[in-house]
Amino acid sequence: MTDIQIERRPTPDSSLPVFSQTHAVLARIYAARGVQSLDHLGRSLAELLPDSGLQGLDAAVARLVKAISAGESILIVGDFDCDGATSTAVAVLALRMMGAAQVDYLVPNRFEYGYGLSPEIVEVARQQNPNLLVTVDNGISSIEGVARANACGMDVVVTDHHLAGSELPAACAIVNPNQPGCGFIAKSTCGVGVIFYVMIALRRALSASGWFEQRNLRAPNLASLLDLVALGTVADVVALEHNNRVLVHQGLQRIRAGKARPGLRALIEVSGRSQSRLVASDLGFALAPRLNAAGRLEDMSIGIECLLTDDPDRALELARTLDELNQERRGIEQEMQQQALQSLARLELDETALPVGLCLYDESWHQGVIGILASRIKERVHRPVIAFAPGDNGEIKGSARSISGFHIRDGLDAIAARYPGLLHKFGGHAMAAGMTLDAARFDDFSAAFDEQVRQQLDEKALTRRLLTDGALSAADLSIELAEVLREGGPWGQQFAEPLFDGEFGLLQQRIVGQRHLKLVLMEPATGLAIDAIWFNIDTALWPDTSVQRVRVVYRLDVNEFRGQRNLQLMVDHLEAISA
């Protein structure tokens, strides 16, 4: 496992007027994340960015207005991950709420058609005879698919957030904050956020035309879909800059108030979370994996139907199916991870000899799980990792995960330019990407990838850093501060959840749930005993009864059990301190 360097964030000025009514620890944390005004802290819907900067929005809305007014058939073409599922659900529900007569969806099966609006999926779409295709969370790279749809007499509106290539599809409208020339400043808006903005603009246009009045319809409250927007935004691990924080906060507020859709309530139930105390990390680590399991192992339609249904019983039935698929996914992933680690061990490479850009392939690996495998191995060796699984016709499919300092899609673009024909296709963004190449060219690609990564990352970049918010006093190790921090979110990518470090005595340690370490720590100044838990530990190293003092990197949490509420430290890292 790679070395870990614990660093404390610089101590900023937290005495600004904006923090005058804020707990001192939370003020310090906000200041360390660049908060300098109330504008950065506001979380009301009134503070959402206006959509005026979204290039292509007017054209997309005009085409949708035409489709709804004429009673045309609209087909939503989604993606097979959580962002794609929530994007699909938001589009279908919003259009139906606005009186669209014919709305359905289609999600490519990843094992048959791959990602996006391919020519093959257009042929499947033709069977439903739609007038208009609307892509969500995909489409910006679907040059051939859009061309095929146009040739078949189907218009296409692309809504996406992935990075554009050198050529754009010939759609009748493209809404993507990351397309060239788009002035919308919230570039980290994910697929579900983009389609939510499109639906807001569509409702405004329909209201202005008198559509709702003429048909005696009430203009829908699209805020009722914010629970889905929050889930997709957190699941896609986009930066929680201010606009995304507003979306996530508002969605969480609806969920906590009991106003979530039946499917989300069911997913919360099967994952054992508390609806009234749900936080952003629950969306990312409990609900999203269950939805994603459908797209990884079977058909994302199971997840989308769970989000769409208004029947609580049907929602719970589907959520239980998703939970079973997630358990199956975990088993497959664990087996693949063991195989990957054994492969590394057989190579007898130490950390310095490992490729800087690491590619792994096994003929037995499952296409739907290689993304998680790449993520797990990346966390272990702290370098960009691509995991490959067999595809069709002699091809292999790869899923990449990167670390800070290496933009994975740009890296693949550079490889494609330097070695024409090596990559059949690829796409993605800074931290994650997918690609296809000939199995016979795996070694060639592995060398090219390592070469590309070495050009951009040095040894310092390969050392995993844990940035903490410093130590807490004994008085701040409290349920009260844990609650303050919980409500101070939402926390997430680039607005990191508060993380602290400190030295403690180690009173007790035992394994629970096979791979989790339950601890009792002692705060040295007061002798206070504090519960802690460390998930998914290396059982070859822990428990270690010889260790009496430890340095711990942790988050504050409240453990509720049988009506009792106690402070609990959620351990991110622990290391022994010699006497």
pLDDT digits (tens, 9 = 90+) for 133-177: 999 999 999 999 999 999 999 999 999 999 888 899 999 999 999
Is 157 among the domain residues?
A: yes
- C-beta of residue 193 within 8 angstroms of C-beta of residue 233: yes
| pLDDT band, residue 351 (cuts 50/70/90) | low
pLDDT at 510: 95
pLDDT digits (tens, 9 = 90+) for 71-81: 999 999 998 89
Is 9 among the domain residues?
A: no
- Residue 387's CATH number: 3.10.310.30
Do both 92 and 199 map to the same domain? yes
Q: Which tokens is 20 given?
A: 């005058």
Do both 507 and 423 map to the same domain? no
Higher pLDDT, 288 or 460: 288
Distance separating alpha carbons of residues 385 and 343, to the nearest angstrom: 14
**pLDDT score of 187 more than 90:** yes
Read off the DSSP letter of residue 567.
Answer: E
Helix (H, G, I), strand (E, B) or coil at 55: coil
- Residue 217's CATH number: 3.90.1640.30
Q: Which of 281, 275, 315 is nearest to 489 (CA)?
A: 281
Cβ neighbors of 324 (< 8 A, separation 6 or more) are: none
- C-beta of residue 560 within 8 angstroms of C-beta of residue 546: no
Q: In total, how many domains does the chain have?
A: 3
Is 225 among the domain residues?
A: yes
Do both 191 and 116 map to the same domain? yes
Do both 286 and 408 map to the same domain? no
pLDDT at 40: 83
Do both 450 and 472 map to the same domain? no
Record the pTM: 0.90
pLDDT at 346: 66
**pLDDT score of 1 more than 60:** no
Do both 287 and 402 map to the same domain? no
For the segment 434-461, the average pLDDT, to the nearest whole number, is 95
Q: What is the residue whose two structure tokens read 């929680």?
A: 240
pLDDT at 20: 81
Identify the top-confidence range among 102-111, 183-192, 330-339.
183-192
Q: Where is the domain boundary, 260, 289, 312?
A: 312
β-bridge partners, 134: 76, 157
Domain containing 360 equals 347-462
Is 36 among the domain residues?
A: no
Q: What are phi and psi of 41, to 5 degrees?
A: -105, -15
For the segment 10-16, the average pLDDT, to the nearest whole number, is 79
pLDDT digits (tens, 9 = 90+) for 217-250: 999 999 999 999 999 999 998 999 999 999 999 9
**pLDDT score of 518 more than 70:** yes
Q: Give 138's Cβ-side CA count (13 Å radius).
A: 31
For the segment 253-280, the average pLDDT, to the nearest whole number, is 96
Q: Which tokens is 468 given?
A: 């903490």
pLDDT at 341: 83
For the segment 25-50, the average pLDDT, to the nearest whole number, is 90
Do both 196 and 291 map to the same domain? yes
Do both 421 and 519 map to the same domain? no
For the segment 341-350, the average pLDDT, to the nearest whole number, is 67
Q: What is the residue whose two structure tokens read 């300092």?
A: 405
**pLDDT score of 70 more than 60:** yes
| pLDDT band, residue 352 (cuts 50/70/90) | low
Distance separating alpha carbons of residues 169 and 185, to the nearest angstrom: 23
pLDDT at 342: 83
pLDDT at 127: 95
For the segment 92-118, the average pLDDT, to the nearest whole number, is 88
- Residue 516's CATH number: 2.40.50.460
Q: Where is the domain boundary, 441, 462, 483?
A: 462
For the segment 282-288, the average pLDDT, to the nearest whole number, is 96
Distance separating alpha carbons of residues 329 and 18, to the nearest angstrom: 46
pLDDT at 314: 98
Do both 527 and 435 map to the same domain? no
| pLDDT, averaged across the chain | 93
For the segment 40-64, the average pLDDT, to the nearest whole number, is 94
Do both 260 and 183 map to the same domain? yes
Helix (H, G, I), strand (E, B) or coil at 113: coil
Is 24 among the domain residues?
A: no
Is 501 among the domain residues?
A: yes
Q: Where is the domain boundary, 431, 462, 493?
A: 462
Do both 454 and 502 map to the same domain? no
Pairing of strands 4-8, 432-438: unpaired
Is 144 among the domain residues?
A: yes
Type of residue found at 191: G
Q: Which tokens is 284 given?
A: 């990312």
Do both 385 and 432 map to the same domain? yes
Least confident of 4-13, 304-313, 347-356: 347-356
Q: What is the residue whose two structure tokens read 């292509």?
A: 56
Is 341 among the domain residues?
A: no
Q: What is the CA radius of gyration of the chain?
A: 24
**pLDDT score of 38 more than 80:** no
**pLDDT score of 490 more than 70:** yes
